[in-house]
Structure 1
Amino acid sequence: MADGSTIGRNRLDGKVAIVTGGGIGMGAATARVMAGYGARVVVADLNAEAGHSTIQSIIATGAEAHFVQCNVADEEQVKALVAETVSTFGRLDCAVNNAAITPDSLPIAEADMAAWDRVIDIDLRSVMLCMKYEIRQMLAQGGGGAVVNIGSVSSVRPQPGNSAYVAAKHGVVGLTKTGSLEYAPQGIRVNAVLPGAIDTPMLRGALDQTGYTEADFAPALSLFGRFGRPEEVGEASAWLCSDAASYITGHSLAVEAGYLTR
């Protein structure tokens, strides 16, 4: 049983958060979860229609949210994203670097290098750029803050045919560990969340391409025999951003229903 000093420490009241890729799927769910815990949320996405839909769903609950259209692989746009966050809400306390694209699907000897480069740009370079400017802002405020990078079970357990995605998601864990080492003295925590099979448009699209159903596929990916909900990933990210996780940095939290235990 928690004592009175810990009750509510998983709240994000008054904190300002950025969520990239916040228009759909895990990003949208994460933005809504964080707003539900009291954060003022900036949703970043290249898809303006989807991003505005997310913030409208948040604003309808009485929470505060703002949308910024952003290509997270473009350094100037990421810099502008952080600047607009500060101009809108006054500061930056936490960030969830979630933006990603569909994995590649060819073996290494047949790789399409243009597609490979695009996956690396969106799934890895963007995390580096976001960390660069998010952490700069946290340092400018005097330190303190939390960054969560979204990796994957492929960060630790590779799959064939996804060389770019696997390389990018391994890199996300490496950046997370490096950031935790570099900025712990300034009180900035950097962690990762590694989702497994989460019920998102990306996963449903992959199922449509293969002809599999959730009933066919989920038992091989989850000890619960079901896909995860995007909100379940959002809860993990929100917790890592909260004061309840104040002694955690450099960690990769798997949200994968036991997939990695096999």
Structure 2
Amino acid sequence: MSAPVVLITGALTGIGRATALAYARDGANVVVGGRHQDKGDALVEELRREGGQGLFVKADVRHDAEVRNLVDRAVEHFGRLDVAFNNAGTEGKLAPLTGVTDETYENTFDTNVKGTLLSLKHEFRAMQTQDGGGSIINVSSVYGLVGYPGFALYVGSKHAVVGITKTAALEGARHGIRVNAVAPGYTRTEMYERATGSDAVRDAVDSVLPMGRAAVPDEIAAAVQYLGSDKASYITGRTLALDGGLLAGAPLFPNT
């Protein structure tokens, strides 16, 4: 069996980067998208050292033409598209509802929602025309499944991803395209560091998590690889929470 072709948006940091490296270690052909050429080129070199083949395409998922080019370049370079991980996202600005503005709405929803929709649009376009379809994994969040005070824009955008995932799964099923989502809980990424702001807050978060710690990006990457593989061949339209037991009943709002 030939090595799978995997496309990852938002691949230059955090969960996206960890997933790209995990696929490379398995010998995959990995296409990474992001907004910074220097970091992209460096990541491709690292992917090759890990045993995979890599291609970086500069792309901002908020712009249709750039997403189209990203997908087209992947197919032109490697011949097909087997797995796509739509990981690009932003936490936006933490603010109460009374602090929402046009700008903060657009900054969050253009990346998290529009970016996911545009990625799906062009990934479907590629996968519908090839034998075997493909597998797409969107990134939501544990807060795409519950609410969180003061974070309405982020929460709303990640709920939207869950709904979009279900609809895309129904549209893709007859074409052999599976669409699922992962919903990470607290995960030690650059976004997590920004959102928590201090070691004291991070310690408080750890104290209420059933497993006593936040996830590491490799743990999320492993779940993405599972959903993208034939081992998950009858799973579509689902959102997999990767939260260390958070939604099983632990407090959601640590006292900080």
Q: SS at 2:222's partner residue?
A: helix
Q: SS at 1:199's partner residue?
A: coil
Corresponding residue for residue 218 of structure 1: 206
Q: Aligned equivalents of 1:202 and 1:96: distance in 2?
A: 18
Contact 2:26 2:51 in 1 (8 A): no
Deviations 1:116-137 (A, max 9, x none): 1110000110000000000110
Contact 1:26 1:230 in 2 (8 A): yes
Contact 1:23 1:53 in 2 (8 A): no
Contact 2:81 2:126 in 1 (8 A): yes
Unaligned 5+ runs, structure 2: 250-256
- State which of 177, 181, 184 in structure 2 corresponds to 1:188: 177
Contact 2:27 2:51 in 1 (8 A): no
Q: SS at 2:147's partner residue?
A: coil
Corresponding residue for residue 199 of structure 1: 188
How far is 1:47 from its partner? 2.0
Corresponding residue for residue 97 of structure 1: 86
Corresponding residue for residue 71 of structure 1: 60
- State which of 48, 52, 71 in structure 1 corresponds to 2:41: 52
Contact 2:16 2:87 in 1 (8 A): yes
How far is 1:211 from its partner? 5.7
The answer to whether structure 1 residue 117 and structure 2 residue 103 are counterparts is no
Q: Aligned equivalents of 2:185 and 2:51: distance in 1?
A: 31
How far is 1:104 from its partner? 2.2
Q: Aligned equivalents of 2:39 and 2:146: distance in 1?
A: 31
2:207 corresponds to which letter in structure 1?
P
Stretches (4+) displaced over 6 A: none
TM-score when scaled to structure 2? 0.93
1:40 corresponds to which letter in structure 2?
N
Q: Aligned equivalents of 1:122 and 1:60: distance in 2?
A: 31
Query: How do 1:13-32 and structure 2 match up within 5 A?
Result: 14-32=3-21
Contact 2:135 2:228 in 1 (8 A): yes
Q: SS at 2:166's partner residue?
A: helix
Query: How do 1:74-153 and structure 2 match up within 5 A?
Result: 74-153=63-142
Q: SS at 1:140's partner residue?
A: coil
How far is 1:102 from its partner? 2.5
Q: SS at 2:128's partner residue?
A: helix
Q: Aligned equivalents of 1:219 and 1:68: distance in 2?
A: 40
Q: SS at 1:27's partner residue?
A: helix
How far is 1:204 from its partner? 1.1
Unaligned 5+ runs, structure 1: 1-11
Contact 1:18 1:94 in 2 (8 A): yes
How far is 1:142 from its partner? 3.8
Q: Aligned equivalents of 1:167 and 1:96: distance in 2?
A: 20
How far is 1:186 from its partner? 1.3
Q: Aligned equivalents of 2:8 and 2:182: distance in 1?
A: 13
1:96 corresponds to which letter in structure 2?
F
TM-score when scaled to structure 1? 0.91
Contact 2:4 2:83 in 1 (8 A): yes
Corresponding residue for residue 252 of structure 2: none
Q: Aligned equivalents of 1:198 and 1:50: distance in 2?
A: 22
Q: Aligned equivalents of 2:207 and 2:133: distance in 1?
A: 41
Q: SS at 2:241's partner residue?
A: strand
Deviations 1:33-67 (A, max 9, x none): 12222321000001222222322211112310110
Corresponding residue for residue 253 of structure 2: none
The answer to whether structure 1 residue 156 and structure 2 residue 145 are counterparts is yes
How far is 1:143 from its partner? 4.9
The answer to whether structure 1 residue 247 and structure 2 residue 210 are counterparts is no
How far is 1:13 from its partner? 5.4
The answer to whether structure 1 residue 236 and structure 2 residue 202 are counterparts is no
